[in-house]
Structure 1
C-alpha cells in the first residue's frame, strides 16, 4: 500500500467557499483549552523535577515514574474516552475530562509523598489522554471543511502554548518563591484553565455528525445553522445523511462489525501516531533542564534556556499552520520526519565529539550547542510533524468509529510516549546522552521509511469524502467483516 494507491490526489473540495460563523471560533477556543492543559501538565514537570527530586527524594526510577505515569494514564484515558465518546457524545467526555483535570492537578500539587504523586499524575493523565483523543474530533466534526486544518491545528498551538506557559511560570515561580516546595505552585496553576474549560463546555453544543450518527437530525441541523452560512446547511446535512444511509453502513451498524478497510485504516492511524513520539520529542519537552544540567549548565540557566524551547515551539506551530494552507499533509509529514531524524543525530554527534570539560570546568559551549540542536529539532517537529499528526488523526477515520479509532491511535501514541519517558532517565544514567540520541536517530530512519510508503494525503476533502476515498482504496472485500 503506497501513497499512489490512496494519497496522491486531493479530491474535490467544496466549490462554494464556506464561511465561519463567530460561534465556531468560540467553540474552538474553549475546547482547545484541553490542549492547553495537555501542554502545561506535560511541560511543567520539566522544571518541577529539579525541586521535587529533593523534596520527595526521587531516584532515577521514581523520576521516570513521576514523569511517565501521566503518559501511562493518558494512554488509558485516550482509549477509554474514544470508546465512550461515540456513544455518549464528544461534549460530555470533554466535560468529564475537565473535572478530572481539576482533581488530578490538586492531588499532584498537594501530594505528601512520591506514591501519592505518581497516583495523581496517573489520574491527571486520564484527562490528558481523553482530551488529546476527543478535542480534535470535536473540532473536526463541527467546523467547515475548508477551515478544518486551521482549527484542528489550533489544538497543537494550544499544546505548545501550554508548554511555554509551563516553562515560563516555572522560571518565574522559582525566581519569586524559590525553595523546595516551589514545585507545588508550579503544578497547581493548571487548575485555572481546567475550571474555565468545564464552565465553557456547559454552554456549547455537541457535533452535528454525532447527532446524525444517533438519528438526531433536527439537532444536527440546529448546530449547522449556528456554525455555517445558511446556504451551506442543506448541502452538508445531505452529505452527512448520505454517509449514514448506505447499505454497508446500515448493515455494519446492525451487526456491530468493523470492515476490513476500517481495520487497515486504524492500523495506519496507529503507525502515524507512533511516528510522532518515536522522534524523541518528549525527551526534550520533559527532560530539557535535566539534559542541560547533565552537560554542565546550572539550574537557573537550564530553566531559562528551556523557555527558548517553548518559544520556538509556539512560533513554529504558527509557521506550520501557514504551511498547511499551501502544502498538503504528506509533504509536511515527510519533511518533519527527515528533519527530526537528522537533528537528533547531530545532537548525538555534538555530545560525542565535543569535550565535556575545558580547563577543568564544564564546557558551556557544548551545552549551548545541545540547546541549539533542541531548537532546530523543535522547528521540524512543531512546524511539520506534530500538527500534521493531530490533523490526520482527527479526519482520517470514518464517522461510525471515529472516537474509538482515534482513541486507539492516541493510546498507541501515548504508550510509546510512556515507554520513552520512563526509560530516558535510566538510559541517560547508564549509556549517556550520546548513545541515547543515536538510538533515536536509528528509529527515525525506520520511521522515515514508513512515512514514505504509507503517509496519506487528505487535503481538500470533507470528512465524508475522506471516508469514501479510504473505503475505495483500502477495501478488498466490500462486505463488512466481523471484528472488534
Structure 2
C-alpha cells in the first residue's frame, strides 16, 4: 500500500555518519521487515480472498448481486475508517503495539466471517476486517520507514507493497486449490476465508518479539530505549551516530502534523490537494479492484466454467506481481508523468478491447480467452504504472507542513472510491453486461488522461523543496513541470 513520505534532510545527514555495513544487525532488520510485512500479506489476502469465494458464498447464503457487492465492498468502507484512525492510534500507542492490535482484529474478523451464519453477520465482520486492512495500510509502511536506515528505506518499505500483491496472488491460488478439492461442499468458502487466520497469528506472535520504532520512542522522550532499538538493527557506530538524525526526523514529523483545513485558504495548496485527491480517485476508477475482487465471476461471465475460471484467475495474481516488479524497476529511470500517461492510455485501451470482445465475438472459447487476455494485460499495465506511481506521487507533491493531513485525506477518499466501485460492479455487470461496464471504465479513463495531461506535475529528479518552491511561485502545476 502506501509508501511513507520521503524524509527531507536525510541524505545530507547520512553522508557524515558511518555506512550501513553488513553484520548480525542486518539479519535482525531483515527479520523485522519480514514479520511486519505480514500485515501487508493479510491486507492482500483479505482483499483478494473474496475473489473465488463469492460464487459458493452466493449459493450458500442466497446473495443477490447487490448483497454480493456489499459483502465484497464493505471491507473497503471499514478500511477507509481504519486508515483515518490508524495513524493517530499508532502515534498514541506506538507502531509496534498498533500492529499487534491489528493482528488481533485480523484474527477476530477472519473467524467472525468463517463462522457467520447469515449475510448480516458476514457483512459486519467483513467491515471489522476492513478496519484492520486500513490500519495496516497506514501503520506498517511507517513502521518500516522509521526503523530502516536511510540507504535501505525505499527498498524495505516497497516490500510491503510486494507483500500486498503476493497476498492477493496467494488468495487466488489457495482458492483454486480449495475449490478443486472441496468445491462440492456448500461451506467451501469458509475454508478459503479461514486460511487468513494463519498469517494473523504469525503477525501477532512475531511482533511480540519485534522492537518499537526508534523515531516514535524519541518523539516520546525515550532516547535510551530508542538507542537500544538502533543497536539491534545498526552497527554500534552507526547506532550512536544515527540517534541525532532520529531526533531530526521526529522534529520533522511533528512539523508535518501542523497542516490542516486552514491551509486551504492558500490557492496553490488547494490546487495541490485537488491534484492529490484526483490521483487517488482516478487510480481506483480504473476498476483494478473490480478485477481483483470479482475476477473469477468476470471470467465466468466471459464463458469459462466455474473450475476453469477460478484456476485461470490465478493469472491475474501472477501478472499483478510481474507488473509491479517491472514498474519498480522502471520507476527511478522513467519520468513519473509520461509513465502515468502511458498507464492510463494502456488501461483505457484494455477496457475498450474487453468491451468490444464481449460485444462483438460470439459466445465460446475464443471470446472467453480474448477477454482473459485483455483483462491480464489491463492488470499488468495498471500494476506496473498507475498503482505504485500514485502512491509515490502522493508522497512527493505535498509540502511538509500539510503532508500528513493531505495524504490522509487523499487515502481516505481513495478507499471510499474503492468501496463504491466494489459495491456497484456486480450490479453493473448484471444490469448492463461486461461490454458496457468496461466501456464505462474506458470513458472514465479518457477523463483521467486529460486530468494527468493538464494538471499533474513531474516530480522525478526534483527535491521536495524545489517542488514546493515551484508551486508557490507559479501556482499552476503544469507550469511547474517545465
Task: Please confirm whether the aligned pair reaches a TM-score higher than 0.5, indicating the same fold.
Answer: yes
Whole-angstrom CA distance in 2 between matches of 1:314 and 1:372: 16
The residue aligned with 1:348 is: 355
* Cα 1:270/1:237, change in 2 over 3 Å: farther
Whole-angstrom CA distance in 1 between matches of 2:453 and 2:203: 38
SS of corresponding position for 2:284? helix
Q: CA deviation at 1:194?
A: 0.5
433-442 vs 384-393, greater mean Cα deviation? 384-393
* Residue from 169, 172, 187 that aligns with 1:167: 172
59-68 vs 81-90, greater mean Cα deviation? 81-90
Q: CA deviation at 1:205?
A: 2.5
Q: CA deviation at 1:425?
A: 0.9
* Cα 1:229/1:100, change in 2 over 3 Å: same
Q: CA deviation at 1:91?
A: 2.1
* Cα 1:180/1:403, change in 2 over 3 Å: farther
The residue aligned with 2:480 is: none
* Cα 1:311/1:327, change in 2 over 3 Å: same
Flag structure 1 segments of 5+ consecutive residues without an equivalent.
1-6, 358-362, 477-484
Q: CA deviation at 1:456?
A: 5.7
The residue aligned with 2:32 is: 27
Q: Is the 8 A contact 2:257 2:401 kept in 1?
A: no
Counterparts of 1:29-48 in structure 2, within 5 Å, are: 29-48=34-53
Q: Is the 8 A contact 1:55 1:180 kept in 2?
A: yes
Q: Deviations over 1:247-266 (max 9, x none)?
A: x949959x998686877665
* Cα 1:173/1:199, change in 2 over 3 Å: same
TM-score for the superposition, normalised by structure 1: 0.84
Q: Deviations over 1:91-139 (max 9, x none)?
A: 2222211111000100101110111111111111111111112212222
Whole-angstrom CA distance in 2 between matches of 1:399 and 1:206: 24
Q: Deviations over 1:383-429 (max 9, x none)?
A: 22222334445676677876655443322111111100111111112
The residue aligned with 1:188 is: 194
Whole-angstrom CA distance in 2 between matches of 1:392 and 1:244: 23
Counterparts of 1:402-441 in structure 2, within 5 Å, are: 405-441=406-442
SS of corresponding position for 1:431? helix
The residue aligned with 1:49 is: 54
SS of corresponding position for 2:49? helix
19-28 vs 37-46, greater mean Cα deviation? 19-28
Q: CA deviation at 1:154?
A: 1.4
Q: CA deviation at 1:12?
A: 6.7
Whole-angstrom CA distance in 2 between matches of 1:413 and 1:251: 20
* Cα 1:231/1:379, change in 2 over 3 Å: farther
The residue aligned with 2:319 is: 312
Q: Does 1:296 align with 2:296?
A: no
Q: Deviations over 1:197-253 (max 9, x none)?
A: 11112222233333344444444444444434556556655455446658x949959
Whole-angstrom CA distance in 1 between matches of 2:150 and 2:271: 24
* Cα 1:256/1:272, change in 2 over 3 Å: closer
Q: Does 1:144 align with 2:149?
A: yes
Whole-angstrom CA distance in 2 between matches of 1:60 and 1:458: 42
Q: CA deviation at 1:170?
A: 1.0
Q: Deviations over 1:284-337 (max 9, x none)?
A: 111111111112211111111101111111222222332235445555434333
The residue aligned with 1:3 is: none
* Cα 1:331/1:251, change in 2 over 3 Å: closer
Q: Is the 8 A contact 2:42 2:196 kept in 1?
A: yes
* Residue from 275, 286, 298 that aligns with 1:279: 286
Whole-angstrom CA distance in 2 between matches of 1:172 and 1:419: 30
Counterparts of 1:372-451 in structure 2, within 5 Å, are: 372-393=373-394, 405-451=406-452
* Cα 1:227/1:390, change in 2 over 3 Å: farther
Flag structure 2 segments of 5+ consecutive residues without an equivalent.
1-5, 474-482
Matched residue count: 456
Q: CA deviation at 1:469?
A: 5.0
The residue aligned with 1:97 is: 102
Q: Is the 8 A contact 1:98 1:127 kept in 2?
A: yes
* Cα 1:250/1:449, change in 2 over 3 Å: closer
Q: Deviations over 1:426-455 (max 9, x none)?
A: 111222111111111121222233334554
